[in-house]
Amino acid sequence: MDRASAGWMNGFIGVLIFSGSLPATRMAVMGFDPVFLTVARAAIAGLIALALLLLFREKRPARADLASLAIVAFGVVIGFPLLTALALIHITSAHSIVFIGLLPLSTAIFGVLRGGERPHPAFWLFSCLGSALVAGFAISQGITAAPLGDLLMLAAIIVCGLGYAEGAKLSRKLGGWQVISWALVLSLPVMIVLALIVLPASFAAITAPAWAGLVYVSLFSMLIGFFFWYRGLAQGGIAGVGQLQLLQPFFGLVLAATLLHEEISPIMLVVTVAIVGCVAGAKRFAR
């Protein structure tokens, strides 16, 4: 398998793992405060990442890489988890998942700004088409019904795209799993302190689904998924492989219906199928 194909394969595995993030977050915020959930998941993943770095005796990143690691930490360790957790107080996971269709465009834009990539003009046509379908769906569902939730999701998409592109660029130098691990370790002291500050007075009322959500977002969404995702972006190209995120709503909607018993409207399925069709076109013109 050539490098580009390996990149798309790794990226696809990463998307599969990330597809469970929003349903799991929705489950977790039913029992945990969003701020505690954000810092707890980062602290748990950070401790595991630190253990892995020590176990494999990874060399510390250069001082010049610290700024990029800080951007990664801001985007995917703190920004996206916190903003989505806050958004899911106001909107359902099924509704929020469709916003993920905007993430490929955000990632591609930052891939140009931060990664130096230059996709074919036709690539932007397919990418923008997929994003427009998502935006059209949000408006058709009555975006003013929960404006705060929608705005929080849009903000989450922006900071996440930045974190993805920055991490992918740095992965070419440090390696995929090393980047997310160092970003988690960099933020670990602050996350531990904040977790202790906002620690719930009691865990007695926390349900099993909430605990399961916390475990998933800590291990898979915050750590393991990035092992595949950053490696895939570095191998296959940020803008191109990033379009695989258009598939994420499809998998996420299935999980939302299966695990949370949320209603999936016909228009959600139509939009999801349409944006999946944009992946093939974007892939063809990614380079």
Confidence of residue 170 (pLDDT cuts 50, 70, 90): very high
What is the pLDDT, as a whole number, of residue 49? 98
Confidence of residue 138 (pLDDT cuts 50, 70, 90): low
Residues of the chain with pLDDT > 90, as a percent, come to: 59
Does the pLDDT of residue 143 top 60, yes or no? no
187 neighbors 256 (Cβ within 8 angstroms): no
Q: Range with the lowest mean pLDDT among 23-27, 72-76, 133-137?
A: 133-137
What is the pLDDT, as a whole number, of residue 126? 87
Convert the pLDDT of each residue in 20-55 to its tens digit. 998 899 899 999 999 999 999 999 999 999 999 999
Q: Highest mean pLDDT range out of 32-41, 100-109, 247-256? A: 32-41
Domain spans in the chain, listed from the N-terminal domain onward? 3-284
pTM (global) more than 0.85: yes
Convert the pLDDT of each residue in 253-282 to its tens digit. 777 778 777 777 788 778 777 877 887 777
Tell me the DSSP string of 140-175: HT-GGGSHHHHHHHHHHHHHHHHHHHHHHHHHHHH-
**DSSP label at 40?**
H
Taking the mean position of all CA atoms in its chain, how far away is CA 281? 22
